Structure 1
Amino acid sequence: MALACSLAHLPLTKHLKVAIIDSNPALGKRNCINKEDPPDPRVSTVTPATISFFKDIGAWQYIQQHRHAYFDKMQVWDYTGLGYTRYNARDVNKEVLGCVVENKVLHSSLLSCIEFTSDIHLGAYKLDWCNAADSDVDDTFINTDFRKTIYPSKVTSMALLPSSSSMGVDSTLSTTALFTKGRLAKLELSDGKSLYAKLVVGADGGKSRVRELAGFKTTGWSYSQNAVICTVEHTEENRCAWQRFLPAGPIALLPIGDRFSNIVWTMNPKESSDCKTMNEDEFVKTVNHALDYGYGSHPKSSSSGGRDMFSWLRGDVAISADECFEVPPKVIKLASDRMVFPLSLKHANDYVSKRVVLIGDAAHTVHPLAGQGVNLGFEDSHALSRVIAEGVAVGSDIGEVSLLRKYEAERKPANIAMMALLEVFQRAYSVDFGPLNILRAAAFNGAHYISPLKKSIISYASGEKKMPLPLPFFS
């Protein structure tokens, strides 16, 4: 949906025809967000770069109508008590470090943006889907009502024939003739309909059916870890993003508005099963134990000027009260169901082939310890829309590999770099070993006391600087 909104926003692509194939029942629901309900446990932490993208395509105004929570501070620390770091938006002259938004709010806002843009352009926008007089081809998506372009269905098969050797293609040819000449891909849907497209975008998640049908190979593995997510409540509003690295995996406490926060806790499958089944009081006690006094002591702030093994990093400079270690707000109540998701890493060896391109989790899934997965996907959407616009500007076929490779050349190195660094962090924090603990603590203290390094980390993690190597200190 973000790609569709971006295409509708760009002057060169707003005339294109787009059909969205998605069987998610939420796409057919209107006014499904009740502000009186507690926050949904499924949330995303969006970076300033993603916020800027959403503003550009006109979607952020709809998010602002619903619950969301900006945060301008975050604290990351190690269970050993040897190191911590605190980040403040002021360090890079920014107002916020990010915003936590419920996934259903993201969905609803993008859908509202699509519908509004469609009305403005009188239904002319919808990515180059072609229909013809074939009796089995649905033509309702050319209606000015954009909602009719959303197919509540699934793709069952995809066919693409080799291109004809003829240089030119008669624009008066039927859809079937264009498909026969290799100028269109053909999709069969689970409801019996057929669609023809110049370009098929696989944005259908980590278990992408489009990726499978197109024959893309992947590299990856499953972690022996699950993520437990839920919504919790405090006595006062939380305005900071917190993340503590524990022996089995990190636990993050993310503000979601009012007195609510979201928990994302990585642990082994046995622990996740126990956390899901234990009673509420015991679970709340376990969460507070993990965020506060469990596993080890609190890191020392050194605000009094005392000496420690890392005092050489800060020299004679005393840190301010805003930079001192703080204990996260205490959780008093569980405010949602607990959900458990297995974690894995997967990367498509190629992002593009003729008339098919992958974006988001269909191209790459990453460990959630840095909260970057959804932001990488939105960056993919932004980059692909620009490449399609470049193709339209010069009259290229938007399904040709030579054009789509520009998108892959931009996004693949950035995604691989982020995945590699996240993997290094995941492995480094899964080992409890004395010398390694000290090295990790040195990294935390360096990120905390060395101002240029801290500024670079914040800029890279917020998506506002392209990273030579990613620095995932950002939940």
Structure 2
Amino acid sequence: MEKFDCLIIGGGMVGATTAVALADLGLKIALVDTHRPDSDLLDNPDSFAKDQAYNLRVSAVSLGSEQFLQQLHIWQQVLDWRACPYRRLGVWEQSLSYAQFHCDQIKQPYLGHIVENHLLQASAWLQMQHKPNISILAPATLQSITCYSDKVIATIDDTEIQCEILIGADGGQSKVRQMADIGTTGWDYQHSAMLINVTTEHPQQDITWQHFIDGAPVAFLPLTSHHASLVWYDKPDKIKALASLPNTQLQQQVLNHFPKRLGHIDVVDKAAFPLVRRHANQYVKGRVVLLGDAAHSINPLAGQGVNLGFKDVKALQEVLAKAIGSGEHYASSEVLQRYEKQRRNDNLLMMTTMDLIYRGFKQPSGPIKLLRNLGLFGAQRLGPVKDKVLAYACGL
């Protein structure tokens, strides 16, 4: 039976980054995923063409996340491939209540970058391939886990693997979480979101914005050149109907519904998904640890999901590093609980804040509508408080 210090289930952006981060501590790591991503990029990173079609799945990677990824030597490759910086964030319902956050407020060159998920994942996999203490098991599938007080034994396909720590970074439907019998709390938001890749009349912009229309926001995420990603939130039936339209008809619906500042667009691609909130009742159970969406699925309203995941990874790396440095056993219950203590309240605060904003804007009541617009109006004029809120959102 092969033995590892850490066995990571899930090789997405968060899982692959976890492998790189913990390998830097000198630990023996194995990562399991059901498939290998972007084999062409992994075999030949220079094969990427900057003018190739954009992937639908993109993330707003905050400045704080970028700094962490830079330390792990993951970020530079992403920039070499393709990423779009944004310097401003705009939010409004009525034009008089427009609130804008600018990178100058926190004395930074930008707030973050819009990045295609598969490029960030591929860059992390490239780093994994360069580390001799990381074994990649893919394609492979987790079949079962057996937890003991001092180890976890996982069955991967037909092979048993022993590890000191089993890490679940396998997404919102986490098998690790289910097999470890860790419950969740959460709900369905009764809304869905549609991602729409478009070409734009305007050249690359430096702003990402959200406009609330009858309680359902629409969002603009800038991409390079004359490209952008749009997000349309609405009731599931409405999103399903929109997603079924031919691109030319969807284009007209977008032009009718989105703010005029969008200019003319042509729809290139689209996809839809439901909005759910899910929070694990515990992040640590014995030697099992949850990170990213396996621990918490958040409303994507402000693009904080993957950034919370990277904060999880950074916290786990720091906790284990301090334990190793002080002579503690890195996999002890006392050490792992420090990770949960550090991350749980912060994640819950962000999740609750996003829910309050989202639900607040869904209320059709006239007085509530007045109050939220006054809130945005006031937010634009908060001065130092506004700057601190922005710094926190950027992970600084």
Structure 1 length as normaliser, TM-score?
0.76
After superposition, the CA RMSD in angstroms is: 1.6
TM-fit CA distance, 1:91? 1.8
1:234·1:260 contact (CA, 8 Å) conserved in 2?
A: yes
Long gaps (5+) in structure 2: 1-15
Q: CA deviation at 1:283?
A: 1.4
**1:35: Cα distance to partner?**
2.6
Cα deviation, residue 397, structure 1: 2.9
| 1:347 CA drift (Å) | 0.4
- 2:291 is equivalent to residue 359 of structure 1: yes
Q: Could you tell me which of 117, 120, 123 is aligned with 1:106?
A: 120
From 143, 146, 150, give the equivalent of 1:159: 146
Look up the equivalent residue of 1:102 and give its one-letter code.
E
Given that 2:36 and 2:138 are in contact with CA atoms closer than 8 Å, whether structure 1 keeps it comes out as no
Q: Which moved more, 1:450-459 or 1:30-39?
A: 30-39
Structure 2 equivalent of residue 185 of structure 1: 152
1:18 aligns with 2:32: no
The corresponding residue for 1:333 is 266
Matches within 5 A, 1:411-426: 411-426=343-358
Contact 1:156/1:188 (<8 A) preserved = yes
Q: Give the equivalent residue in structure 1 for 2:19.
A: 4
What does residue 241 of structure 2 align with?
274
Q: Structure 1 residue 199 and structure 2 residue 185: aligned?
A: no
1:204-215, aligned counterparts within 5 Å?
A: 204-215=170-181
Partner Cα separation in structure 1 for residue 241 and residue 147 of structure 2: 48
Aligned residues: 376
Mapped to 1, the partners of 2:105 and 2:335 lie a distance apart of: 40
Which amino acid counterpart does residue 179 of structure 2 have in structure 1?
L
Q: CA contact under 8 A between 1:232 and 1:331: conserved in structure 2?
A: no
Residue 248 (structure 2) pairs with residue 284 (structure 1):
no
Question: Could you tell me how far 1:390 is from its partner in structure 2?
Answer: 1.8
Structure 1 counterpart of 2:129, from 94, 99, 115: 115
Letter in 1 for 2:166: V
Give the Cα–Cα distance (whole angstroms) in 1 for the partners of residues 137 and 222 of structure 2: 33
* Alignment match, 1:74: 89
Once the two structures are TM-superposed, the CA of residue 7 in structure 1 deviates from its matched residue by 2.0
Asked if the contact 2:164/2:287 (under 8 Å) is kept, the reply is: yes
What letter is aligned with 1:348?
A
- Stretches (4+) displaced over 4 A: none
* 1:392 and 2:359 are equivalent in the alignment: no
Measured after TM superposition, the shift of residue 290 of structure 1 is 2.5
Aligned AA (1:152):
P
Contact 1:383 1:407 in 2 (8 A): yes
In the aligned structure 2, how far is the partner of 1:406 from the partner of 1:70? 34
> Which segment drifts farther, 450-459 or 347-356?
450-459
- Could you tell me the percent identity over the aligned residues? 30
Q: Does 1:370 align with 2:302?
A: yes
Do the aligned residues in 2 keep the contact of 1:356 with 1:399 (CA within 8 Å)? no
User: How far did 1:24 drift?
Assistant: 2.9
SS at match of 1:199: strand
1:54 to 2:69 alignment: yes
| TM-score relative to the length of structure 2 | 0.91
Q: CA shift at 1:27, angstroms?
A: 6.0
Partner of 1:40: 55
Q: Which residue of 2 aligns with 1:86?
A: 100
Structure with more of its chain in strand, by fraction: 2
Query: What SS does the aligned partner of 2:329 have?
Result: coil
Q: Distance in 1 between matches of 2:27 and 2:250?
A: 51
Q: C-alpha displacement at 1:248, in angstroms?
A: 4.5
Distance 1:221 1:424 in 2: 14
Deviations 1:326-353, CA, capped at 9 Å, x for gaps:
x3x31421122x1111110010111101
Aligned equivalent of 1:455: 387
